Every structure is written in structure tokens, then in C-alpha cells.
Structure 1
Amino acid sequence: MAMPSWNDSSLGTMKRVGLWLNQVVGVGELFTKTQLREAFPETSQIDRRMRDLRDFDWRIDTNREDPTLGSHEHRFVSEGVAVWEPGKGTRKTGATVTAAERHTLMMRDGHKCRSCGIGPGEQYPGTYIASQLDVARRSVRLPDGATALQTMIECNRCRIGGRDLTADLGDVLERIAALPSYERKMLASWVERDARSFSEPEDLWAAYRTLPADARDAVRQALSS
């Protein structure tokens, strides 16, 4: 079917924003909040209508996802469902997370990114960039082979890196079943505390891995002396 114009006032605002991104901005291009508001001056909450597109697999990055962007800039990364087509603009059940649900998820996940462990507002190592935590949806392959979408708390960096990943719960459970009893108990204690303590050599190994080649050579010499 022919794509309607983004100026078609008979369409809902979210659909028109999707068309505007497609027809005016273009995939991969930048646009500002000002440009969006000037295109839809009659809509007071146009930012929210744009965010609604993310529930239909549209990717629109802000400086939370892409630190190279300015505070008022967005990047139209990829187009999702053609929401202007009949039957495709219906909101997915459970797609929107309320403030109360977000608070519950934050409490459940300990107010930390479940992927890297960083807390809200903490700086990433070696940078001046502060983390921002939010609700992410991760695809999980269940033991029966089915795939489910489950929520977790992640930082802005890990959400970007994990968007296309599928966690394999069945594989994890099979590997746990194959562990010797002492390793299973050790893993169970880490899971119970939701934390793992590292020995001094393990911490030093992690630090060593971050060193440049010349510095790694100095470590080798120190160990061999």
C-alpha cells in the first residue's frame, strides 16, 4: 500500500511522527527537539508520542544511548513496525512500564545495572560520563525452546550493546546441572549474595588485562624476578 504523508491530519500523532522521521529526517540522521516541535506545533507532548514508537521497535537514540549527541539532539537509528498501516499501530500489551513498575524493578535489581554492576550516576572508568539506569527488555530463550521478553535494569551503555542479544536460560540450567557438587555450592553462594568476591590474584589479573603492552611487559618482568 502507498505510504501516507506525514502531514495527513486524519492519522494519529504517533503515526505521523513515524512518517515524519521516515520522510523528512531519514534513517541515520540527526534531528533536534526543536525541529520535532516545530513540525507538530499543535501537540504539547510530542516528545512522548515519539517515544511511543519505541514500543514498536523503532530505535531513536538520545545522549543517554549515544554520548556523542547533544542534550537536545536525537538520532533516528532504525525504523520498526510501519505503525501507519492498518492494524499495526496498536500498542503491544505490557509494552509501557509505569513509574511504579520501574521503581519495583529498580528495587528488585538493587539499583544497579544487571550487566556491568554500575550504579546510577556513577562514572564509567576512565571517562567523565555518568551512567543512567533504566528498564531494558532482554530476549530469553527458555528451556522448552520458546523465547520470552523479560525486563531488567541496565545502564545506557549496556542497553545499546544488549539490544540484539538473546540470553539462553536452557543452556545455563544445563551447565549448572553438570557442575560438581562443590562448584555448584560455590555458585549457589554467589547467587544467594548476588555478588562474587574476588581473590587478590584475580583482581590483579583484571587490572593486568587493562594495561598497555609496555606496562604488561613490566608486570611479566616483576613476576619473573
Structure 2
Amino acid sequence: MTLPRWDDPALKAGTMIKGALWLVAEVGEGGIFTKEQVRQAFPGVSQADRRIRDLRDYGWVIHTNTDDASLGPGEQRLVKVGIPVWDSNARREAAITTISAKQRQATLAADNYQCANCGIAGGEPYPESPHQTAVLSVTKRRVARPDGTDTEQPLTLCKLCRAGTERLDHADLGQLLADIRNLDQVDQDRIRRWMRRGRRGATPLDRAWTAYRRMPAEAKEEIARDLGIA
């Protein structure tokens, strides 16, 4: 299918659609662009950069230097092209699953402004990549109910977890309930406590390991000798 030209004077479309076509034609996936380039491409158009950012609601992945430390101030990278917004049918279908601003805020609050997958909070640096800080967004996950029906429900994910959501696309509520009921009574009581608190409680083993991990190397060696490890 031949795409419309983003700069075709005859194209009757808004800035977001023209911006999407410009990204595909002039930047491409993996390419870097700047706010100045956006201004030059759409002279006299106010908030053209914001219309570009609106593409994220349609599955377009666009990173700034808060997501990717290799980018400079004002630089953005087109990581992934999402829904072809220039196609009215595709845009209309996408609108059915678009999350409203009110729903987005309610979901962030319900998830305690933390990633539902890894637990990192917005703005917090990743332990394995301290130069990267978490940026939270709200997406939808398909949930299979025990009665056989499916529903799409919103949840909070950080950008890194959202980039690998293949394993998060579908949740089986019935299977999870069965797994919980199959736990022994001690573990069932424990997971109920975690659910009431909204977080996992640390076990004595967790606390001991965390305390050991934070010890200086010399102290760790002393502990290992005392326990007969070294």
C-alpha cells in the first residue's frame, strides 16, 4: 500500500497524522529526530511536537533522553511504528481501546504509581541500568475470566516492561485462582496478607539475604567462614 505524502498540499489530515507520515518517510524506525526538525517540517503549526507525542496512544514508541541516556537534550528516537493512524479504519478500531486521561490517572493511582510487572516507581533509576529512570504508562491487558469470557483491563507498566509485553498480553484469572487454592494453608494465609497490604511481605530468609548482600566484602568473608562456606 502506497502511503500518502506527509507534505502533499492536497492531504486533508491533522498534524498528528502528517507527523506520523513524516516519521515513517523521513526518520524511520531506529532513527533520531529533534524538536527543531519537527518545527522545520511543520512551520507555523503550534504544538506540532505534542501532536507527535500523541502517537504514543496508538502504540508508537518514541523515546527521549529520559528513556535512553544515549540521546541528547531535544533528541527523540522512533523506536517502533504503531497503528497506521493515516488509515481511518485502523484509527477507529484503535479508539475503542484508547485509555482516557481520567482512566489513566485512576489506574496509576490504583497501582500506587508503580510498574505492575517489576514494581519500579516512576522516575526511579533501574538497579541494573542506573542511567535510565522509569517512565510509567498505562496499557491494557486481556484477562480471561473463569466463566470463559474475556475482558481488557488497564494496568501500569514501565517503558522497559512494556517493550517486552509478549508474556503479559494475556492473563488467565481462573488458572491463577486455581494455583492459589492449590497452595498449602500457610502459603495461602501468607498471600492473603500480601493482597491485603498490597505488597509482598519479606520473609526471614528475604531479610537475612538482603542484610548479607549489603555487608562489606570483609564482613561477608567473616560470615562465610563462620558458616563453614569458605
- TM-score when normalising by structure 2: 0.77
For the residue of structure 2 that corresponds to 1:63, the secondary structure is coil
- Counterpart pick for 1:166 among 169, 179, 183: 169
| Alignment deviations for residues 72-110 of structure 1 (CA, whole Å, 9 cap, x no partner) | 111111222322235233351351431x43332232222
For residue 23 of structure 1, the aligned residue among 17, 22, 25 is: 25
Paired letter, 1:7: D
Number of equivalenced pairs = 223
Cα distance in 2, alignment partners of residues 85 and 193 from structure 1? 46
User: Gaps spanning 5+ residues in structure 2: where?
Assistant: none
Per the alignment, do residues 160 and 56 of structure 1 end up closer, same or farther by CA in structure 2, a change over 3 Å counting?
A: same
Q: What secondary structure does 1:22 align onto? A: helix
SS in structure 1 opposite 2:193? helix
Q: 2:126, 2:134 within 8 Å by CA — same for their partners in 1?
A: no
Q: Which letter maps to 1:89?
A: R
Q: Percent identity?
A: 33
Aligned to 1:89, the other structure's residue is in SS state helix
Q: Which moved more, 1:13-22 or 1:115-124?
A: 115-124
- In 2: Cα distance, 1:219 partner to 1:161 partner: 39
Aligned to 1:106: 108
1:113-137 alpha-carbon deviations (Å, 9 max, x no partner): 3333333444444765474453321
Alignment of 1:1-225 (within 5 A): 1-9=1-9, 10-12=11-13, 13-90=15-92, 92-98=95-101, 100-125=102-127, 128-129=130-131, 131-143=133-145, 148-162=151-165, 165-170=168-173, 171-205=175-209, 220-224=224-228
CA change 1:166–1:94 in 2 (3 A) is: closer
Deviation at 1:179, TM superposition (A): 1.9
Query: How many angstroms apart in 2 are the aligned matches of 1:7 and 1:140?
Result: 38
Cα offset, 1:210, TM superposition = 9.7
Q: TM-score, normalised by structure 1?
A: 0.78
User: Which digits, 9 at most, give the CA deviation of each residue in 1:50-81, with x for residues without a partner?
Assistant: 12322332222223333332231111112223
Question: 1:20 deviation in Å?
Answer: 0.8
Q: Distance in 1 between matches of 2:44 and 2:100?
A: 26
* Contact 1:54–1:60, Cα closer than 8 Å, also in 2: yes
Aligned in 2, Cα 1:146/1:222: closer, same or farther, shift over 3 Å?
farther
One-letter amino acid matched to 1:11: K
Maintained 8 Å contact 1:139/1:167 = yes
Distance in 2 separating the partners of 1:207 and 1:73: 41
RMSD (Å), alpha carbons: 3.4
**Letter aligned with residue 41 of structure 1:** P
Q: Are the equivalent residues in 1 in contact too, given 2:135–2:159 (CA < 8 A)? A: yes
Deviation, structure 1 residue 33: 1.3
Would you say the 8 A contact 1:18–1:83 is kept in 2?
yes
SS in structure 2 of the partner of residue 137 of structure 1: strand
Cα deviation, residue 203, structure 1? 3.2
Cα pair distance change 1:209/1:136, threshold 3 Å: farther
Secondary structure in 1 matching 2:154: strand
Distance 1:35 1:210, change over 3 A: farther
